[in-house]
Amino acid sequence: MKEIPYESGSYYIFDRAYYHFKMLYKIHQIGAFFVVRAKKNLQYKIIKWKRRL
Q: How many domains does the chain have?
A: 1
Q: Which residues pair with 14 in a beta bridge?
A: 36
Per-residue pLDDT, 1: 76
In a domain, 49, yes or no: no
Per-residue pLDDT, 9: 96
pLDDT digits (tens, 9 = 90+) for 21-42: 888 999 999 999 999 888 888 7
In a domain, 47, yes or no: no
In a domain, 32, yes or no: yes
Task: Determine the structural domain holding residue 5 and report its residue range.
Answer: 1-40
In a domain, 51, yes or no: no
pTM of the predicted model as reported, rounded to 2 decimal places? 0.67
DSSP the chain: -TTS---TT-EEEE-TT---HHHHHHHHHTT-EEEEPPPTT------------
Is the confidence at residue 8, as pLDDT, over 90? yes
Which of 41, 47, 42 lies closest to 21, judged by CA? 42
In a domain, 53, yes or no: no
